[in-house]
């Protein structure tokens, strides 16, 4: 996400309103009509909860706070879980059940007094824009939460066990800057056992590869923000000189050329499709999204390109005969409030959100609906062809963490010239350490079940 893509997102929203796309707006009217009923039900719910709370024994047992490295302020750690922990199903009280039996993606953020297993000082792989603590973020409470599924337990990522399972294996995370953010999290966790060695990087350090010699384990991040072939005319800061040229019938060889050599991969895309783009098929222009009128191209909307792209990607995967494990990750929601990237939007929250406090905006909902539809179709074909394709649906997991973004602390000491300084907020990427580390707990559990 950057200035150009944020403006494109705003124009995309305008385009949606003009075209009255796909989604019904009647829901708001229904909510208004049923407002009194909702208030009555809410009052009843609160009263019942209050009674249960009084009659139920509280969990007042204290836990010793394990000392964590420098830069972690334990004073910000939340209290121990009481309500959430007591209400978890019996299966989550120590029994680890198979991934097919457990919904790992429906759960709650539970206070975790022990905090993260690494810090910005112990991990050398955190890039500056995600290094929130070094950049001066004053609060650390966002570090003390864990994602816990409601129907089973979820062990924390065990770097040593993971590396033992992945001996002589090759991984790749394929996609945009969120994939780059994610690979930093994985590297930080793995470095608690052995520091990965960088083997390769492209000129802009967007595609990179690392190796852990003791386990002969290789992990890469492949920069392919559209997954199809694209000509992008912008610099590293997102300043564009022309529309993106998207070739919807040609997959990006940066990932397809190495596809069969990978044992595991996580593929994702999303927000880049909101950019101003011209669409090509068979070498000819077929349409565009918010493009210059001089292009004389038909406005088709980003959803046209997104659906076409994901259909082609999923068709390639499901028919590939690949013998490894392939994850498709849904796009992640952002948490801009009171504006967007380019016009003062921010993400000032310091705690996870509760149900009802946050929701998917229209753009994120359109992206997600397309992702789930195309994945569902492809997964059936993949099963018939013996291809192991799995969904990583982190939407709910990330939706409730508006506190986990860099915000103004994407840059070093943003308020060094005064609290009123005009700063750029990042409410899309994730602080490290931070909520994105919990993705790896889920991924490891799926991998463990697949291996065994």
Residue with tokens 């921010």: 346
Token output for 319: 């028919």
- Active-site residue, 426 included: yes
- Active-site residue, 320 included: no
Token output for 258: 């190495």
Q: What single-letter DSSP state applies at residue 79?
A: P
Choose among 219, 338, 340, 206: nearest CA to 271. Answer: 340
181 touches 266 (CB < 8 A) = no
Q: Which of 5, 12, 92, 177 is catalytic?
A: 177
Q: Which of 303, 393, 426, 437 is catalytic?
A: 426
Compute the distance between CA of residue 387 and CA of residue 379 in angstroms, rounded to an integer: 9
225 touches 256 (CB < 8 A) = no
R_g (Cα) of the chain, nearest Å? 23
Q: What single-letter DSSP state applies at residue 113?
A: T
- Active-site residue, 303 included: no
Instruction: Give buried/exposed letters for 22-47 (b at 16+ CB in 10 A, else e).
Output: eeeeeeeeeeeeeeeeeeeeeeeeee
Q: Which of 429, 437, 438, 441 is catalytic?
A: 429
Compute the distance between CA of residue 248 and CA of residue 252 in angstroms, rounded to an integer: 10
Strands 208-212 and 197-201: antiparallel
Mapped onto helix, strand or coil, the DSSP state of residue 55 is helix
Choose among 158, 149, 156: nearest CA to 85. Answer: 149
Mapped onto helix, strand or coil, the DSSP state of residue 419 is coil
Distances 218 to 168, 178, 230, 249, 254 between C-alpha atoms, Å: 8, 19, 27, 30, 17
The burial of 210, by beta-carbon neighbours within 10 Å (0-12 exposed, 13-18 middle, 19 or more buried), is given as: buried
Residue with tokens 């059940």: 97
Choose among 333, 174, 183, 184: nearest CA to 267. Answer: 174
Q: What single-letter DSSP state applies at residue 387?
A: -
Residues catalogued as catalytic = 177, 426, 429
């Amino acid at each position: 996400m950057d200035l150009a893509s944020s403006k494109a997102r705003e124009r995309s929203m305008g385009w949606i309103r003009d075209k009255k796309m796909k989604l019904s707006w009647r829901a708001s009217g229904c909510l208004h009509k049923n407002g009194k009923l909702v208030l009555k039900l809410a009052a009843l719910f609160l009263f019942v909860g209050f009674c249960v709370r009084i009659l139920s024994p509280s969990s007042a047992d204290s836990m010793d706070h394990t000392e964590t490295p420098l830069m972690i302020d334990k004073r910000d750690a939340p209290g121990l879980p009481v309500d959430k922990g007591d209400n978890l199903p019996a299966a989550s009280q120590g029994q680890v059940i198979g991934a097919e039996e457990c919904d790992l993606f429906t759960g709650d953020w539970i206070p975790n007094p022990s905090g993260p297993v690494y810090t910005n000082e112990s991990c050398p792989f955190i890039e500056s824009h995600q290094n929130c603590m070094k950049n001066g973020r004053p609060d650390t409470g966002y570090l003390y939460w864990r994602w816990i599924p409601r129907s089973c337990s979820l062990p924390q990522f065990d770097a040593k066990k993971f590396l033992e399972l992945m001996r002589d294996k090759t991984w790749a995370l394929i996609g945009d800057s969120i994939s780059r953010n994610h690979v930093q999290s994985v590297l930080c966790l793995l470095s608690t056992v052995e520091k990965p060695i960088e083997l390769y990087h492209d000129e802009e350090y967007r595609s990179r590869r690392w190796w852990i010699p003791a386990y002969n384990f290789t992990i890469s991040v492949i920069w392919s923000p559209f997954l199809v072939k694209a000509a992008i005319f912008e610099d590293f800061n997102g300043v564009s000189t022309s529309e993106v040229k998207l070739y919807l019938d040609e997959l990006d060889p940066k990932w397809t050329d190495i596809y069969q050599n990978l044992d595991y991969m996580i593929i994702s895309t999303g927000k880049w499709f909101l950019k101003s783009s011209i669409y090509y098929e068979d070498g000819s222009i077929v349409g565009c999204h918010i493009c210059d009128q001089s292009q004389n191209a038909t406005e088709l909307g980003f959803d046209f390109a997104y659906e076409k792209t994901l259909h082609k990607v999923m068709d390639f995967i499901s028919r590939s005969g690949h013998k490894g494990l392939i994850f498709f990750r849904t796009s992640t929601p952002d948490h801009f409030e009171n504006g967007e990237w380019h016009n003062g939007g921010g993400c000032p929250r310091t705690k996870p959100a509760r149900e009802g406090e946050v929701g998917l905006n229209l753009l994120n909902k359109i992206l997600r609906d397309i992702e789930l539809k195309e994945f569902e179709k492809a997964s059936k074909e993949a099963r018939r062809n013996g291809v192991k394709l799995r969904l990583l649906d982190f939407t709910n997991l990330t939706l409730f963490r508006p506190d986990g973004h860099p915000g103004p602390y994407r840059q070093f000491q943003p308020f060094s010239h005064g609290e009123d300084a005009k700063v750029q907020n990042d409410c899309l990427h994730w602080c490290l350490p931070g909520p994105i580390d919990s993705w790896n707990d889920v991924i490891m559990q799926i991998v463990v079940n697949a291996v065994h």
